[in-house]
Amino acid sequence: MDKVRIEEVQSTTKKQRIATHTHIKGLGLEASGRALPLAAGFVGQAEAREASGLVVDMIWQNLGTDMNCPHGIPVDLLDRLVIIRTQTYDVADMIKILALRANVEDLVIDDESLAYLGDIGLQASLRHAVQLLSPSSIMAKMNGRDNICKADIEEVKALYMDAKSSARLLQAQQEKYIS
């Protein structure tokens, strides 16, 4: 196995470190790991790295064509993309997800507590509700129980804030912080 070579490329905007394996061919890199200006008729790594910010900016500004495309993505590219339909979770879905997560973590939790966590997930976020499971389990063990009850979740909820509540608190008290 060849050693990994690391090269620093000085860009107009930043320094980039490129690690390459010398046995990889055709990726716009020389055997020494340096970026080729052109590779197989395509723009090589050197120019691609320089132009990437400009390309993203042009796509964002929708420059280059007079076509209006959905989501700002060219139609031919959009036709080849896999689009997955998403929907918001309701309380029942959140309870199922929380029960599954509790099962994975080998936690014992009653239905009332799962319903309470589902309400927390609906009000704050599912991530916050899932993140309350582990500390609630620790709180239950500190109280001498193996199963998580609603009181454990309430106690832990008082200790941890979700991201939205934390942002609102910081915004409300911004004059107390150094900026």
Instruction: Give the residue among 43, 35, 37 at the shortest CA–CA distance from 18.
Output: 35
Q: What is the DSSP letter of 108?
A: E
| 5 residue type, one letter | R
Q: Which domains does the chain have, with CATH numbers?
A: 4-80 (no CATH), 91-170 (1.10.8.60)
Q: What is the pLDDT of residue 21?
A: 43
pLDDT class of 20 with cuts at 50, 70, 90: very low
Mean pLDDT in the chain?
77
**Among the ranges given (48-57, 87-96, 114-123), the one the predictor scored with the smallest mean pLDDT:** 48-57
Q: What is the pLDDT of residue 81?
A: 75
Residue 142, CA distances (Å) to 136, 138, 139, 146, 148 in order: 10, 6, 5, 9, 11
Beta bridge partners of residue 20, listed in sequence order: 5
Could you report the per-residue pLDDT of 117-146, keeping only the tens digit for each?
Answer: 999 999 999 999 999 999 999 999 999 999
Could you report the per-residue pLDDT of 25-42, keeping only the tens digit for each?
Answer: 455 556 666 666 555 545
Between 150-159 and 133-142, two packed helices, what is the crossing angle to 10 degrees?
A: 110
Cβ contacts of residue 76 below 8 Å, gap of 6+? none
Q: What is the pLDDT of residue 87?
A: 86
Residue 19: pLDDT over 50: no
Token pair of 1 as six digits: 């196995």
Q: Identify which has the larger pLDDT, 24 or 74.
A: 74
Residue 15: pLDDT over 60: no
Cβ contacts of residue 170 below 8 Å, gap of 6+? 177
Distance CA 40, CA 156 (A): 59
Percent of the chain with pLDDT over 90: 49
**Among the ranges given (10-14, 87-91, 128-132, 171-175), the one the predictor scored with the smallest mean pLDDT:** 10-14
3-class DSSP assignment, residue 27? coil
pLDDT class of 77 with cuts at 50, 70, 90: confident
Cβ contacts of residue 60 below 8 Å, gap of 6+? 72
